[in-house]
Structure 1
Amino acid sequence: MSEPDFPESEFADRLERAQRLMAGDNLDALLLTTEPEIRYFSGFRTLFWQSPTRPWFLIVPSSGKPIAVIPEIGAALMARTWIEDIRTFASPAPQNEALPILAGLLKTKARIGLPMSGESQLRLPLNDFQELTHSLAGCELADAAPLIQTLRHIKSEREIALIRQICLIACDAFDAVPQQIHAGMTLKDAFRAFRIDLLRRGADDVPYLVGGAGPDGYGDIISPPDGTHLATGDVFMMDTGATLNGYFCDFDRNFSVGPASEIAARAHATLVRATQAAFETARPGRTFADLFQTMAKVLQDEGGQVGRMGHGLGMQLTETPSIAPFDTTVLEAGMVLTLEPGLTTTEGRMMVHEENIVIREDGAEFLTRPTGPELPMIGL
């Protein structure tokens, strides 16, 4: 990150929205410990989060700019962001030297928000967290997950532009699959070729690439590639989460190896039809449950739906909300999400199709180039 991903005004707007919501929830500060939340408010982007050795913290006060409490190794990079108050500590160390710094900054706060529910994580040793809460015994800790999710659900135009760009990079790579992948290749070689092509086309990273192959479908949608050879009659699927400046695309494409079977061709056409139906339903005021029911209705005569059928998308591969019957979150302009219907094709086999969209005031807009009803073919 040689320069900030966004101008300061982007982060100032996020902070202003957060502090307005904090006032409504009577929160004096937010304490954040995970990569997406810290990056959301600071712009601090690094792959060093892959190391679990060091804890990282950001305090968002009810007024004023955020305060970073981070290991010394991150000071230079954090200084390139809009954050001005950067407190550092030695780490790794026998004791967590951040704890007294945090206690000193937070002990006067009556009510402190932390993400506690939904899909939140702590990313801090439980012993350290218990020590910190003991130091803050006079403070009330409250669940701030709904507040943060409310903020992150609505993407700015700059965020949407990044997601659109990485989606189109991945679309170009998928379009080139029939020229690069063929029957007889192992799944490992096919996935490796696709990953390399994504990087050559401009993706920063490909942290997520899964899929499968088999006659009339595949057994699951999360398996890593192995030495299995692509065979005539297979349906071959790859699902990619490539990134650009820390923002994800998340969609898949299905291919037939040679002419498609009647089962696979019908399943693919049905999935595309379900996706289009959800796309036409997606507009402000409808709910994520509405999208689920729309797709489930299309799929009900073709083997039935499999699992949830989409989710939020952005700084993480999967974000809230979920396209599921229990999620009544209302669609709003600026939400980016996946449409991901799946159905059972034969015993133990399934097919899934996925597109990425953004909600606009008057409906939805594809960020991916949507696939047509005919199953694309890989040559022999």
Structure 2
Amino acid sequence: MASPAARGFTTEEFENRTARLQALMREKELDAVLFTTEPNVRYFSGFFTQFWHSPTRPWFLIVPTSGKPIAVIPEIGATGMAATWVDDIRTWAAPCPEDDGISLLAAALDELPRKFGRIGATLGIESHLRMPVNNFLHLREKVASEIVDIALEIHDLRTVKSPAEIEKTREICRITNNAFDLIPNYAKTGMSEREICKQFRIDMLREGADECPYIIAGSGPDGYDSIIMGPTDRVIEHGDLLIIDTGAVRDGYFSDFDRNWAFGDASEQTKAAYRATYEATTKGFEAAKPGNTTTDIYNAMWSVLEEAGALGNDVGRIGHGLGMELTERPSHTATDNTLLRPGMVLTLEPGMNYAPGKQMVHEENIVITEDGAEWLTRRAAPELIIIK
């Protein structure tokens, strides 16, 4: 058994991340960047806690134009933040609805050198504040600088993963693959989707996952029509097709891929749809190389599905970025056109409606390398597995 990747990151990793951001800040004429969401706070500080599941308290991290980040956080998190590389930690007694850290945060921002009078924050596409809107409006009134959106720039910065990040993704993909491989040993007709997924979750945890927050399933007679619901109490019958799509986590990094099985038998139409999505991942992988774009990946995969008679695709994209979050930018669409660079971790997720009310979706995880791409998942079988 391969030894698991080491947990956490070195201080050098956070120094490099912060230096990249500070170079971006100079380019964008920013005096500081304010972060309010768990992935971004963790990315630049190393502060990693399940306490983010509690929505009561806001948390803030400031990255100035030079030096280390500044944490402005509830007192309850001071000890945990002190264990990171951050040493400027300012706290308030939270929750405090009257002033939940806003005065402390505004003072910290206003004491920084002001050259451009602009503070960056992730306000735009695929981002959120994770603080009350009224508090944000109050913050804008209290600080002397303008707060501007840099969501796209932060997405772009985080898109290219370090070698250490890639190893974490590789490890959770290995764990997930091992659990998927066990499913034909126990899944059978008469079991419900929920029962199969429960055992699948147990196996991922036994293999080394920290948590399995995303497990969905869909099934039906020789096909399924939804890939974002379930698992349900629907009982698997002879002739059913089952998909399980999961995002498991180890040390803060996600896997995200699926597998399909038929029980007893499957029609030639369903087997052909499976072959088409498998072949689409092959063509997507071949197009996944530096200098190409996400749209090149999309076109390579969609051309296979079209030729196979796809009636459409309800998902809206056929792959995306992956890392600290289950789905990250970019997206494989006909118009995304994000340039591929070494270190980008992506999913290949071709899906097609191959008959009315029937979908086939296949997903794998890859990383862009200097001269092409590398599989992070062990690929699914080229033919649909029939569980007898």
TM exceeding 0.5:
yes
Q: What SS is found at the alignment partner of 1:345?
A: strand
Relative distance call for 1:304 and 1:363 in structure 2 (3 A) is: farther
Q: Does 1:158 align with 2:164?
A: yes
Question: Alpha-carbon deviations, 1:206-228, whole Å to 9, x = none?
Answer: 01000201123211111121111
- Percent same amino acid among aligned pairs? 51
Q: Does 2:356 correspond to 1:324?
A: no
Aligned match of 1:273 in 279, 301, 306? 279
SS in 2 for 1:52: coil
- Please state how far the C-alpha of 1:376 moved relative to its aligned partner: 1.3
What residue is the counterpart of 1:101 in the other structure? 104
Question: Within 5 Å, which residues of 2 pair with 1:192-211?
Answer: 192-211=198-217
- The Cα of 1:123 is off from its aligned counterpart by 0.6
Q: Distance in 2 between matches of 1:289 and 1:96?
A: 46
Cα deviation, 1:319-370, whole Å, max 9, x if unaligned, reads 0000011201100000000000001122111110000000001000000001
- For residues 256-295 of structure 1, the aligned pairs below 5 Å read 256-295=262-301
The aligned amino acid for 1:374 is E
Question: 2:229 is matched with which residue: 223, 232, 235?
Answer: 223
Q: How far apart, in 2, do the equivalents of 1:42 and 1:177 lie?
A: 38
Q: Is structure 2 residue 361 aligned with structure 1 residue 358?
A: no
CA distance in 2, matches of 1:310, 1:264: 22
User: 1:74 aligns to what SS in structure 2?
Assistant: helix
Secondary structure in structure 1 of the residue aligned to 2:148:
strand
| Correspondent of 1:303 among 300, 310, 313 | 310
Aligned residue in 2 for 1:371: 380
Note if contact 1:217-1:264 (Cα within 8 Å) is conserved in structure 2.
yes
How far apart, in 1, do the equivalents of 2:56 and 2:345 lie? 33
Partner-residue secondary structure (3-state), 1:176? helix
* In 2, Cα distance between equivalents of 1:235 and 1:15: 47
What residue is the counterpart of 2:354 in the other structure?
345
User: d(CA) in 2 for partners of 1:171 and 1:96?
Assistant: 47
- C-alpha deviations, 1:68-90, integer Å up to 9, x for none? 01111111111111110111111
- Supply the distance in 2 between the matched residues of 1:299 and 1:336 (Cα, whole angstroms): 23
Query: What is the identity, as a one-letter code, of the residue corresponding to 2:135?
Result: D
Which runs of 5 or more structure 1 residues have no equivalent in the other structure?
none
AA at the equivalent of 1:309: I
Alpha-carbon contact 1:305-1:341 (below 8 Å) kept: no
1:1-380 matches, cutoff 5 A: 5-108=8-111, 109=114, 110-136=117-143, 138-301=144-307, 302-306=309-313, 307-379=316-388
Structure 1 stretches of 4+ with a deviation exceeding 3 A read: none
Shift of 1:304: 3.8
CA distance in 1, matches of 2:160, 2:312: 28
Supply the distance in 2 between the matched residues of 1:4 and 1:217 (Cα, whole angstroms).
Answer: 40
CA drift of 1:372 comes to: 2.8
Q: Normalising by the residue count of structure 1, what TM-score does the alignment of the two structures yield?
A: 0.97
Shift of 1:4: 6.7
Is the 8 Å Cα contact of residues 318 and 333 (structure 2) preserved in structure 1?
yes
* Equivalent residues of 2:123, 2:149 under 8 A apart: yes
1:135 & 1:4 partners in 2: Cα distance?
A: 40
Match of 2:3 in 1: none
Equivalent-residue separation in structure 2 for 1:14 and 1:315 (angstroms): 14
Q: Is the 2:7–2:251 contact (alpha carbons within 8 Å) kept by the matching residues of 1?
A: no
Question: How many pairs are equivalent?
Answer: 376
Q: TM-score, normalised by structure 2?
A: 0.95
Please report how far the alpha carbon of residue 142 of structure 1 lies from its aligned counterpart in structure 2 after TM superposition.
1.4
The secondary structure found in structure 2 opposite 1:300 is: helix
**TM-align CA RMSD:** 1.2
